Structure 1
């Protein structure tokens, strides 16, 4: 293939892409995604913040579901189409929603008979919105939502203002393999002593996150005193709250367990993932300290 052939192919591909982005369907999908991302943006931001945002995030999940359901009706579709038509009127060929839909690059006789309205409303508009609703319902089902709401009671900011004994007991019940019936009884008594102690100590009054609380408890050796509460804190810290955290973990897994390391065991993989994902923490530790610790 000559240089001229490569150039011609590039020109053809560029013209095809230009034609695609100047189509009504491309603009419709662009405006549809803009509307949906506008609805879920606040939720996405809240899920990527510290654990004190969990309560707000849970409220935003329900709000997002309600807004997506509201957008899904006839009025929402017509409003979106009006925005698209307004944008296209001077630059892009406008279509009639009641005419027969013709796929890009196909002749009328080779297409199934359906209107543009059916194509854009049923096959695009409804399908895209429904996929987001399914995703929200799967990631935040009733059990997960209850789990996260209960977890809020562990957050120490504002002198443990969010503390709720009943919710923490319920949180423990959601982990039956970690808390036996006897453990739950001990936890119930321990929670009263724990919250009284924490609110009476000035060095715990400025904590902002569950991770801060865990560090301070270990520093003061209180993780041995309030062992059942600390177990709840440990479970809360390993809970993948944010969607972004889960996605980062899977991305990291693809990097760590590559084709050259396909025999890596689960424990070695877990250890490597922790170091990779939390590299900002481990970057503060010099190699000499690590070698001394493990006597390499």
Structure 2
């Protein structure tokens, strides 16, 4: 049981590190931060993001686009308190005002940010499956068997695709001891 818990803790720490790193890269797209960064800081953040997604975002155009967007939000859209807007609100505003052609790289960056997976569903699945597998009746189960049952239960969709007849035949061919009589 300790091995499984250790594995889950390691995975949670790794996921937290990756989510924090992604948030550091994309956080300037939040309107509150967008408003308060000076031009050089904003350009540096935009260049950093563009360098991570070279195939999707233009490294030359993106910093300029983000500066123009910020200025346009501050000056021409005074009816909206853009400091309280989320990245999703910002993307919706750009699409409503038909500015996607004006800010194509900003739209791409916002869509990437909004579609990044940030859940730890596999860890949650592991905990719920362990609770099902290791119940009161199976308290004497060995660690190795518990680990293998947990993997089979978590990856049940893959396990259901296995053709057991082929697996048994393959195993028996490799492990058979043929004796000539």
With normalisation by structure 2, the TM-score equals 0.54
How many pairs does the alignment contain?
A: 123
Contact 2:43 / 2:64 at 8 angstroms: preserved in 1?
no
Higher-Rg member (1/2): 1
2:9 is matched with which residue? 133
- The residue aligned with 1:167 is 45
- Residue 223 in structure 1 maps to residue 100 in structure 2: yes
- Matched with 2:31 is 156
Which residue in 2 is equivalent to 1:12?
none
Write the mapping of 1:6-155 to structure 2, written as runs, cut at 5 A: 124=2, 128=5, 130-141=6-17, 144-155=19-30
When normalised by structure 1's length, the TM-score is: 0.35
CA contact under 8 A between 2:12 and 2:120: conserved in structure 1?
no
- Does structure 1 retain, via aligned residues, the 8 Å contact 2:30–2:85? yes
Uncovered stretches (5+) of structure 1, i.e. residues with no partner: 1-122, 249-257, 263-296
Shift of residue 245, structure 1, vs aligned partner: 11
Shift of 1:197: 1.2
**Residue 228 of structure 1: CA displacement?**
1.2
Larger mean Cα displacement after TM superposition, 152-161 or 189-198: 152-161
The C-alpha deviation readout for 1:9-68, integer Å capped at 9, x for no partner, is xxxxxxxxxxxxxxxxxxxxxxxxxxxxxxxxxxxxxxxxxxxxxxxxxxxxxxxxxxxx
Shift of 1:134: 0.8
Give the alignment of 1:281-296 within 5 angstroms.
none
Residue 138 of structure 1 aligns to a residue in which SS? helix
Which residue is equivalent to 1:214? 91
Structure 1 residues 239, 246: closer, same or farther in 2, change over 3 A? farther
RMSD: 3.6
The corresponding residue for 1:109 is: none
The separation in 2 between residues aligned to 1:150 and 1:136, in whole angstroms, is 20
- Greater relative contact order: 1 or 2 (C-alpha under 8 angstroms, separation 6 or more)? 2
Deviation beyond 4 Å, 4+ runs, structure 1: 244-248
